[in-house]
Amino acid sequence: MPETFNLKSFLADLPHLPGVYRHLDENDEVLYVGKARDLKKRVSSYFQKNLSSPRIAHMVARVKRVEVTVTRTEAEALLLENNLIKRLRPRYNILFRDDKSYPYLQITGHEAPRIAYYRGTTSGKGRYFGPYPNSWAVRETIQILQRVFRLRTCEDSVYAHRSRPCLLHQIGRCSAPCVGVISIKDYQHDVDRAVRFLDGQAGDVMRDMEGRMQEASERLAFEEAAVLRDQMAALASVLQQQTMEKIGDEDADIIAVAIAGGRVCVNLAMVRGGRHLGDKAFFPTHTQDDEPGEILSAFVAQHYLDSPLPPLLICSHALSDSDLVALLQEQLGVRTRVLTRPQATRRSWLEQAQKNAQMALARMLTESGARVTRTRALAEALGLETDETALDALYIECFDISHTAGEATQASCVVFKHHEMQTSLYRRYNIAGVAPGDDYAAMRQVLTRRFSRVADGQAPMPSLVLVDGGKGQVSIARQVFAELGLDISTLVGVAKGEGRRVGLETLVFADDREPVALGKESAALMLIAQIRDEAHRFAITGMRAQRAKARNVSRLEQIEGVGAKRRQKLLARFGGLSGVAAASIDDLCQVDGISAELAERIYYALR
């Protein structure tokens, strides 16, 4: 420990209160974040002779400072801990990818409700079912509801302007309430049956439909009876295809852990209303030496603070944190129970989830092996370190310039790390103040902007920096790196070969090494070509969007009397140039500052 941090004094002064602690290294990088019911006891335990695992011992050896935050309750500490883990992503915490919100199936609150795929808050009107593990599961359920209950999926604007039934009605997927083929009252009965089906009351729905079919037959309403008969047949077919049996009215999540080849898979199976909605596999990082119970605890804490907690969790192993579920219940205001030794059907649910975890892990290891082989080939070709840790940490940034005859010039930066492209780290740079078509000046500008932050210590330095181009672009990049005091050996240009065909590229180095042509069969070159092509794709899409935006605005700019303020008001009022172009002269007159004469001028100029 450095003299500025007195560990013994620090530990002595810690309170017996709940809170969050952070272990930091000599560079003030957060190594680990944890919560504690009693900060004094928990933090002190890290500095005893006998530690729980080699990984923790390795982490403690690097700790130079500890920071703590006291909270009012342990539940608050849990929330703070997971917010810090997601924001800081410490290298010794078990980390799960922070996914987007899960999708739901929505039945809207209209007079004639529609069924829709939905993401976002569930506080709006209507009913929301889920969450579902993926979009495919939602769309499959929508197809079931169309086939069995023939509910509409059309947007309100389409529904309100129909004059005759659409194709979905003709193929038996919608009962056409839009044009009165079915009465609103009867349609609402179908919606009610669909809701009950989603709530797990399929048996009751079937009996209700059977009773209504018999009643229709007795009234000699054979057409109505035939419709109900077809619905019953479709529902029976759906129920036969369900692989998960229903138990009571409980919703449940089944969580299984599989470990193999040094990697971990956590498989989450969702059951709602007795229906198996599907599985989702997670592959956490930083799991060396961790027991299944620790991995499960990390998953439950990180997952359910952002996702609904069901009444029942069925887990393949006991949670290492025995207080975790109680803390979640306190924080979220819901009740749940955990089963680790389920019986009967619940046991089959867990066995199925475990098999899916093992299969997903096997697939990932196979794909990961191929990716690692490709990364190793690149490292070997460039004389970089090839041990497993170095390969996983290999960090590549690739830059490309795109424009159309000098218009809307943009630079792209794409990132390769952990053996795959990291799309969340991609960046685009608008290039200004350079002559149209001057790619060298554009490259100088983007590299200066990006790597000035590296030189100032505000951003990490990549292991390898690729630029799309030959000696000229590499020379510009070398000048930038030399001016910033950065290592020029990390710079490599990708010069296109004859006919720009993939496989004929040459690698050009900034540190005067001889250019290298790896050849068509080189796995290293295929990886470089993939990264380069991704940078090119990302630059082009950004450039086209920028160009379209500039051209759209310029059409308004060319109209006499439409200055910046009026242009802004028009675009805001009508939601963009297409809205302005679609507006009538009377609509345009409603905008502040637009006279009848000017409205007419705008109307005809955009035709």
Residues 181-227 pLDDT 10s: 889 998 998 898 888 887 777 667 777 777 778 777 777 877 767 77
pLDDT of 348? 86
Going across the sheet that includes 312-315, the strands are: 275-282, 263-272, 252-260, 312-315, 337-339
pLDDT of 306? 76
Taking the model in full, what pTM does it have? Answer: 0.60
Per-residue model confidence as pLDDT tens digits over 539-593? 887 656 655 555 555 567 778 778 878 877 887 777 667 777 778 888 888 888 8
Cα distances from 224 to residues 190, 221, 236, 473, in angstroms, run: 13, 6, 18, 74
Q: How many domains does the chain have?
A: 5
| Domain identity same for 405 and 443 | yes
User: Which amino acid is residue 174, in one-letter code?
Assistant: C
CB count in 10 Å sphere of residue 26: 10
Q: What angle do CA 110, 111, 115 make, to 5 degrees?
A: 50
In this predicted structure, the answer to whether residue 274 has a pLDDT above a threshold of 80 is: no
Choose one of 88, 121, 144: the last residue of a domain. 88
pLDDT of 499? 58
Distance CA 159, CA 145 (A): 18
Q: Contact at 8 Å (CB) between 379 and 391?
A: yes
Choose one of 222, 241, 260: the last residue of a domain. 241
Q: Contact at 8 Å (CB) between 349 and 310?
A: no
| Domain identity same for 541 and 575 | no
pLDDT of 1? 44
**Mean pLDDT in residue range 504-520:** 86
Domain residue limits at 564: 558-605
- By residue count, the chain amounts to 607
In this predicted structure, the answer to whether residue 378 has a pLDDT above a threshold of 80 is: yes
In this predicted structure, the answer to whether residue 239 has a pLDDT above a threshold of 90 is: no
Q: Contact at 8 Å (CB) between 493 and 507?
A: yes
181 is written with which tokens?
């083929």
pLDDT of 4? 66
pLDDT of 243? 42
Handedness of CA 238, 243, 245, 251 (dihedral sign): negative
Q: Is residue 130 part of a domain?
A: yes
Q: Would you place residue 251 in the very low, low, confident or very high pLDDT band (cuts 50, 70, 90)?
A: confident
| DSSP helix/strand/coil, 117 | strand
Residues 491-509 as b/e (b if ≥16 CB within 10 A, e otherwise) read bbbbbeeeeeeeebbbbbb
Distance CA 571, CA 575 (A): 5
Q: Is residue 369 part of a domain?
A: no
**Pairing verdict, β 407-417 and 420-421:** antiparallel
Q: Is residue 237 part of a domain?
A: yes
284 is written with which tokens?
């956490």
504 is written with which tokens?
């004929």
pLDDT of 245? 44
Upper half-sphere CA count for residue 505 (Cβ side, 13 Å): 26
**Mean pLDDT in residue range 402-430:** 82
6 is written with which tokens?
């007195």
pLDDT of 255? 94
Q: Is residue 195 part of a domain?
A: yes
| Domain identity same for 57 and 108 | no
Distance CA 272, CA 129 (A): 8
| Domain identity same for 440 and 483 | yes
pLDDT of 6? 80
528 is written with which tokens?
């470089």
Mean predicted lDDT score pLDDT of the chain = 83
CATH number of the domain encompassing residue 22: 3.40.1440.10
pLDDT of 501? 65
- DSSP letter assigned to residue 408: E
| Domain identity same for 108 and 184 | yes
Q: Would you place residue 407 in the very low, low, confident or very high pLDDT band (cuts 50, 70, 90)?
A: low
Which residue in 423, 441, 424 sits closest to 433, CA to CA? 441
Alpha helices in 113-221 (DSSP H): 135-149, 156-159, 167-170, 184-198, 202-218
Q: Is residue 390 part of a domain?
A: no
Cis peptide before 131 (omega within 30 of 0): yes
Q: Is residue 300 part of a domain?
A: yes
In this predicted structure, the answer to whether residue 480 has a pLDDT above a threshold of 90 is: yes
Choose one of 88, 123, 151: the last residue of a domain. 88
pLDDT of 481? 94
Which residue in 196, 270, 272 sits closest to 235, CA to CA? 196
CATH number of the domain encompassing residue 342: 3.30.420.340
| Domain identity same for 536 and 441 | yes
Task: Identify which of 210-219, 276-285, 393-402, 492-501 has the greatest average pLDDT.
Answer: 393-402
pLDDT of 414? 93
| Domain identity same for 345 and 216 | no
| Domain identity same for 185 and 206 | yes
| Domain identity same for 540 and 563 | no
| Domain identity same for 399 and 502 | yes
**Pairing verdict, β 337-339 and 312-315:** parallel
| Domain identity same for 287 and 230 | no
Distance CA 533, CA 528 (A): 8
Per-residue model confidence as pLDDT tens digits over 312-362? 999 999 998 888 888 888 888 888 889 999 888 888 889 989 999 998 888
pLDDT of 2? 45
Q: Is residue 370 part of a domain?
A: no
Phi and psi at residue 426, to the nearest 5°: -65, 150
Q: Is residue 94 part of a domain?
A: no
For residue 240, give the H/E element and its range: helix 222-241
| Domain identity same for 163 and 269 | no
Per-residue model confidence as pLDDT tens digits over 570-580? 877 776 677 77
CATH number of the domain encompassing residue 583: 1.10.150.20
| DSSP helix/strand/coil, 5 | coil
pLDDT of 257? 93
